[in-house]
Structure 1
Amino acid sequence: MAEQRLIIEMGMGNDLHGQDYTKAAKRAIEDAFRHSSLPLFPTLGLSHSEMRVQVTVGVQKPDAVDVEALTATLPRGRAEVRVVKGGLNVGEGDDPIVIAQASVEAFLPPQTGWRLKR
Structure 2
Amino acid sequence: MSEQRFIIEMGMGNDQYGEDYTKAAARAIEDAIRHSAIPMFEVTGISHEAMRVQVTVGVARPEAVDCAVLAEKLPRGRAEVRAVEGGLNVVNPDTGRVLVVATAAVEAFLPKQG
Residue 23 (structure 2) aligns with: 23
1:1-118 aligned at under 5 Å gives the runs: 2-91=2-91, 92=93, 94-112=96-114
User: Deviations 1:57-91 (Å, cap 9, x if unpaired)?
Assistant: 00000011111110111111010101000000112
2: CA distance, partners of 1:6 / 1:108? 7
1:94 Cα deviation (Å)?
A: 3.4
Identity %: 65
TM-score with structure 1 length normalisation?
0.91
1:36 Cα deviation (Å)?
A: 1.3
SS in 1 for 2:32: helix
2: CA distance, partners of 1:90 / 1:40? 40
TM-score with structure 2 length normalisation?
0.94
More strand by share: 2
Measured on the aligned residues, the alpha-carbon RMSD in Å equals 1.1
Deviating more after overlay: 37-46 vs 53-62: 37-46
How many residue pairs match? The answer is 112
The answer for unaligned runs of 5 or more in structure 2 is none
1:2 Cα deviation (Å)?
A: 2.3
